[in-house]
Copies of this chain bind each other. A is one copy, B any other.
Amino acid sequence: MIPRYSRPEMVAIWSPETKFKIWYEIEAHACDAQAAIGVIPKANAEAVWKAKDVEFNVARIDEIEAVTKHDVIAFLTHLAEHIGADDARFVHQGMTSSDVLDTTLNVQLVRAADILLSGMDRVLAALKTRAFEHKDTVRIGRSHGIHAEPTTMGLTFARFYAEMARGKARLEAARAEIATGAISGAVGTFANIDPSVEEHVCKMLGLTPEPISTQVIPRDRHAMFFATLGVIASSIENVAIEIRHMQRTEVLEAEEFFSAGQKGSSAMPHKRNPVLTENLTGLARLVRMAVIPAMENVALWHERDISHSSVERAIGPDTTITLDFALNRLAGVIEKLVIYPDNMLANMNKFKGLVMSQRVLLALTQAGVSREDSYRLVQRNAMKVWEQGKDFREELLADAEVTAALSPEEINEKFDLGYHTKHVDTIFKRVFG
């Protein structure tokens, strides 16, 4: 976790304090369930809740762990210091450490998913606002980095919206998949603990009981979770690359917001760097790098080995924190992106109407000119534009062979931008409903 690329809310999910709080809740709910079926005395179960508002002392737990060499035992020992050894006696009965650890990890991932989902909502809201704002702001569409045909800035925002909305739906699915808990004891047979305990604990924590666990919750769930984050990060990169392209000096169709006082901006007004989106490009790589290790974690030996654990200690916090930061940075960039419609028009007209050459070609053939002749006519006028900087429309209007096939009105119509934007509303309806 890199402090400068993190937000407190997500960081808090991965703090030792949060972790111990979840451990405590799992243990306390388990005691309730054990009491309900008569395995432990009701009074003892109730007593565990005395620690309900305790902020557990991480340093003290670490101190105990230094002796016991076991984190869960250290926590239970510390818990006993709060509720008394006698009442603590029944805590954790029939459970195995993994019951606590794996259920806790999933609680954390679910909470992380919720924060990510609200980050995605912020991105979606920004994209939608900007899409409608620039629904009709014409700019040139580019394939291969080369001018193709006109489109609108709103369509660009709209497609990012659609992509991010898909990402959100995927994350909701991944969240549902990871929202399971397991209190099934050693090797997952429930030999030492009744399935009703698992049901109760899961219910209280907003989880579903893992249908079949083997001491650990199966890691395909986590692999899917991190793979989903990787796809979302790639979509962030997609938006970032677009903005970086728009901001490059020769294009300058948009700029990341630059505050008035920001150093260097006015002495070198051309030198406003898209550092936020460049940063997002890098952050996307960081999120993606968790995907393969998460998949390598799936194949554990027999009922469990602990090779997955160190991986998750790293990618659990790092990946969710990075993606959370990236989503919010992206939202900020979009919300405040400075857009230059005039430059968009200027860019589109860089080759004076040449981007319409294909429409003219088509019109000529439809007017009955042979394919070869049509091509020749377009070509000879296009080359005047390309080589001598002439205006394409004017050249066509002055070319007798062209005007023999097409009327001036027909020629002019080929340069009407409305032709290209006529279905923008249709598309917006598809995307935004």
What is A's interface to B at a CB cutoff of 8 Å? 2, 4-5, 68-70, 140-151, 155, 158-159, 162-163, 166-167, 170, 173, 177, 186-192, 195, 209, 211-215, 218, 220-221, 223-224, 227-228, 230-231, 233-235, 237-238, 240-242, 244-245, 247-251, 262-263, 266-275, 278-279, 281-286, 288-293, 295-311, 313-314, 318, 322, 347, 350-351, 354-355, 357-358, 361-362, 375, 378-379, 382-383, 385-386, 419-424, 426-427, 430-431
A151 touches which of B188, B192, B238, B273 (Cβ 8 Å)? B188
Please give, as numbers and ranges, the residues of chain B lying within 8 Å of A188 by CB-CB distance.
141, 151, 155
A292 touches which of B170, B209, B288 (Cβ 8 Å)? B288
Please give, as numbers and ranges, the residues of chain B lying within 8 Å of A189 by CB-CB distance.
141, 149-151, 155, 420-421, 423-424, 427
A237 touches which of B70, B149, B299 (Cβ 8 Å)? B299
Please give, as numbers and ranges, the residues of chain B lying within 8 Å of A383 by CB-CB distance.
266, 269
Does A230 contact B227, Cβ atoms closer than 8 Å? yes
The residue on B at minimum CB distance from A325 is B310
Q: A212-B159, A305-B244, A430-B212 are in contact. Are A269 and B354 (CB under 8 A)?
A: yes
Cα(A381)–Cα(B351), bound, Å: 31
Q: Give, as a whole number of angstroms, the nearest-CB distance from A382 to chain B.
A: 6
Does A285 contact B297, Cβ atoms closer than 8 Å? yes
Cα(A125)–Cα(B103), bound, Å: 30
Please give, as numbers and ranges, the residues of chain B lying within 8 Å of A214 by CB-CB distance.
141, 151, 155, 159
Q: Give, as a whole number of angstroms, the nearest-CB distance from A384 to chain B.
A: 10
Does A143 contact B305, Cβ atoms closer than 8 Å? yes
- Name 15 interchain pairs, CB-CB below 8 A, sorted by A: A142-B249, A144-B274, A148-B215, A149-B186, A155-B214, A159-B214, A163-B218, A167-B220, A190-B423, A190-B427, A248-B250, A266-B382, A279-B309, A284-B299, A286-B311
